[in-house]
């Protein structure tokens, strides 16, 4: 079958690879219909470590399971038995593996996944919407970590995919004023088309700030501009430098929370959200063109916010 393969640092190629095989009765083969390119993949392959080549990536996807079942897949495979899993914290299970990182992913015609990670889809949901369930699940988790700030002033740094879905979830769930900041005119325009107020940078104080970029400057801004007693949620992964004054956390009782993925319950909630959210800014490309679009996005193309690959 064809697959988009991470072959060496900074390089992806469309190659012919072996057909996947289920390793046990607990696994199924899913025919992939759409798979999203994640920003973590675009940045993550420049320095192998979390992802090691050769690897078929792709953890945001939907497809057809045996029996013609229309499904999307929670790619966070937890052990299900440890202390964290028993508390419902499956996304931080110490023994977790991730489809497209620790095992072959969905930038391919077919992928093997555990049966228990399947989520049924409504019969009338488009494949493009179905492939956006995973990013939306991240936004649901961010909203919950932030304390579900209904009526609060929310700042979002970054108008890439995660920033936009965080805006959509905050809007649906009842946030008050929401400001989306991004340096890109094109991405601010996409956010405005969704109804967001936008700026190049955040202005004033916020009850909650979501950093969907994750570099030193955005880390610093998220802490500096969240109000005393407020919460900054970091979900962006572009850098490692925290770059903030830790005394602010003590003297003003600010909180900084990391957000990784979602619980299975939050993933299920995102299936419902995907039916109604405005996702007209998502673009689809054939898998055969995957290396081209992936490389262009990796090198800074901004007119496409979210690209899906369609085998």
d(CA 201, CA 198): 8
- The continuous run of DSSP H or E covering 248 comes out as helix 246-251
d(CA 220, CA 301): 26
pLDDT digit string, tens, across residues 141-165: 999 999 999 999 999 999 999 999 9
What pLDDT, on the 0 to 100 scale, is given for residue 23?
A: 87
For 52, residues 6+ apart whose C-beta sits below 8 A from its C-beta are none
d(CA 42, CA 65): 28
pTM of the model: 0.96
What pLDDT, on the 0 to 100 scale, is given for residue 239?
A: 85
pLDDT digit string, tens, across residues 12-26: 999 999 999 998 999
CB atoms within 10 A of CB 112: 17
d(CA 102, CA 121): 25
What residue ranges define each of the domains in the chain, with the CATH number in brackets?
Answer: 2-132+279-310 (3.90.180.10), 136-258 (3.40.50.720)
SS3 219: helix
pLDDT digit string, tens, across residues 43-80: 989 877 889 999 999 999 999 999 999 999 999 999 99
What pLDDT, on the 0 to 100 scale, is given for residue 244?
A: 82
d(CA 29, CA 20): 8
Mean pLDDT of the chain: 96
Around 149, how many Cα atoms within 13 Å sit in the side-chain half-sphere?
25
Q: What radius of gyration, in Å, describes the C-alpha atoms of the chain?
A: 19
pLDDT digit string, tens, across residues 223-275: 999 999 999 999 998 888 888 888 989 999 999 999 999 999 999 999 999 99
d(CA 235, CA 145): 11
For 283, residues 6+ apart whose C-beta sits below 8 A from its C-beta are 304, 306, 307, 308
């Amino acid at each position: 079958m064809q697959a988009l393969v991470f072959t060496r640092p900074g390089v992806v190629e469309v190659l012919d690879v072996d057909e996947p095989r289920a390793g046990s009765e607990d696994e199924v083969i899913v025919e992939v219909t759409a798979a999203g390119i994640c920003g973590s993949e675009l940045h993550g392959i420049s320095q192998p470590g979390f992802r090691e080549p050769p690897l078929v990536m792709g953890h945001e996807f939907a497809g057809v399971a045996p029996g013609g079942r229309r499904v999307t897949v929670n790619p966070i495979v937890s052990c299900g038995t440890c202390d964290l899993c028993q508390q419902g914290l499956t996304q931080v299970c110490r023994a977790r593996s991730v489809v497209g990182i620790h095992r072959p992913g969905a930038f391919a015609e077919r992928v093997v996944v555990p049966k228990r990670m399947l989520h049924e889809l409504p019969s009338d949901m488009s494949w493009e919407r179905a492939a956006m369930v995973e990013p939306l699940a991240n936004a649901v988790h961010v909203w919950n970590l932030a304390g579900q700030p209904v009526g609060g002033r929310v700042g979002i740094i970054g108008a890439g995919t995660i920033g936009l879905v965080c805006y959509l979830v905050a809007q649906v769930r009842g946030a008050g004023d929401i400001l989306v900041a991004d340096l890109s005119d094109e991405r601010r325009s996409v956010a405005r088309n969704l109804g967001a107020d936008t700026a190049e940078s955040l202005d004033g104080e916020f009850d909650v700030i979501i950093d969907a970029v994750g570099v030193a400057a955005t880390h610093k801004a998220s802490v500096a501009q969240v109000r005393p007693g407020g919460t900054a949620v970091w979900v962006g992964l572009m850098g490692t430098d925290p770059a903030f004054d830790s005394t602010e956390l003590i003297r003003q009782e600010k909180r900084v929370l990391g957000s990784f993925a979602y619980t299975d319950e939050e993933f299920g909630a995102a299936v419902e959200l995907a039916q109604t959210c405005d996702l007209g800014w998502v673009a689809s490309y054939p898998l055969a063109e995957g290396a081209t679009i992936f490389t262009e996005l990796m090198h800074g193309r901004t007119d496409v916010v979210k690209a899906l690959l369609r085998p």
